[in-house]
């Protein structure tokens, strides 16, 4: 069955530190891959997406993600975290259909 | 841009009443809209997929008679929670897709928080 795993439920980093959020998927082929961010009580904002081509994808707010086919991963990174980055982050895959499969989310806390 | 709005943002209703939630794509025509439900501190669960002019496709376990979806135009989809009960209290989020050369990206609305008393 298709699935998306975000192994870290909570992550805490200090402001200015680097960040990596993990995402692994289970699917026979390469799906479309997405990262979204959700602030409390808000909808989801698209950070970046991967469809094909360059496996290192640049997104908004200084985020980037790298698709690694051999590891079935699409990890999100940011070199220097800002306090405003505190939010819930969701990885999603679209396995060739219109539907998304969401991971369970990673809640990021940023220490001043 | 790709802006999706939802109305209302928050609604409180009595048990047994019906509640309608609107989802609009403001600056693009959405061939497909999706309705999700999110419980506190959990991920989004797809409820149904809605295509303009046709019946919605519901996910397994979602009662189509309870959650009525209408997609009357390329910019508007509505979700009606009929005879709402406290267990229907949740955060409902819609999204709209704008197909471009087959590459689907969903743009999400801000969500509607429903509280059924």
Give the tokens for residue A7: 């192994």
**Is residue A84 helix, strand or coil?**
helix
Average pLDDT, chain A: 92
**pLDDT one-digit tens code per residue, B82-98:** 999 999 999 999 999 87
Please give the Cα distance from B31 to B71 (Å, whole number). Answer: 10
Contact assignment for A46 to B97 by CB distance below 8 Å: no
Cβ–Cβ < 8 Å for B50, B35: yes
Using the Cβ of A27 and the Cβ atoms of chain B, whether some distance falls under 8 Å is answered with: no
Q: What is the mean pLDDT of residues A12-23?
A: 97
Q: Which of B6, B34, B104 sits opposite A32 (nearest CB)?
A: B104
Contact B79, B88 (CB under 8 A): no
Question: Taking an 8 Å Cβ-Cβ cutoff, which residues of chain B contact chain A?
Answer: 4, 6, 32, 34, 41-44, 46, 49, 91, 93, 95, 97, 103-111, 113
Report d(CA A26, CA A95) in Å as an integer: 10
Check residues A59 and B3 and name the one with the higher pLDDT: A59
The pLDDT assigned to B117 comes to: 96
pLDDT, residue A15, reads 97
Contact B97, B28 (CB under 8 A): no
Strands A19-21 and A73-78: antiparallel
pLDDT above 60 for B101:
no
């Amino acid at each position: 069955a298709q699935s998306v795993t975000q192994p870290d439920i909570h992550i805490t980093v200090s402001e200015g530190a680097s960040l990596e959020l993990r995402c692994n998927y289970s699917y026979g082929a390469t799906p479309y891959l997405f990262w979204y961010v959700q602030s409390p009580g808000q909808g989801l904002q698209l950070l970046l997406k991967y469809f094909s081509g360059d496996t290192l994808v640049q997104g908004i707010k200084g985020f980037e993600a790298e698709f690694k086919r051999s590891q079935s991963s699409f990890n999100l990174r940011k070199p220097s975290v800002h306090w405003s980055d505190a939010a819930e982050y969701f990885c999603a895959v679209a396995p060739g259909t219109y539907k998304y499969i969401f991971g369970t989310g990673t809640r990021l806390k940023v220490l001043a | 841009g790709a802006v999706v709005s939802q109305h209302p943002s928050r609604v409180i209703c009595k048990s047994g009443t019906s509640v309608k939630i609107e989802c609009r794509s403001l600056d693009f025509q959405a061939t497909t809209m999706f309705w999700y439900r999110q419980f506190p501190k959990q991920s989004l669960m797809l409820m149904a997929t809605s295509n303009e002019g046709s019946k919605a496709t519901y996910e397994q376990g979602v009662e189509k008679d309870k959650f009525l979806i209408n997609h009357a135009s390329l910019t508007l989809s509505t979700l009606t929670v009929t005879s709402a009960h406290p267990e229907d209290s949740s955060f409902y989020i819609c999204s709209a897709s704008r197909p471009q050369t087959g590459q689907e990206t969903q743009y999400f609305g801000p969500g509607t928080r429903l509280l059924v008393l």
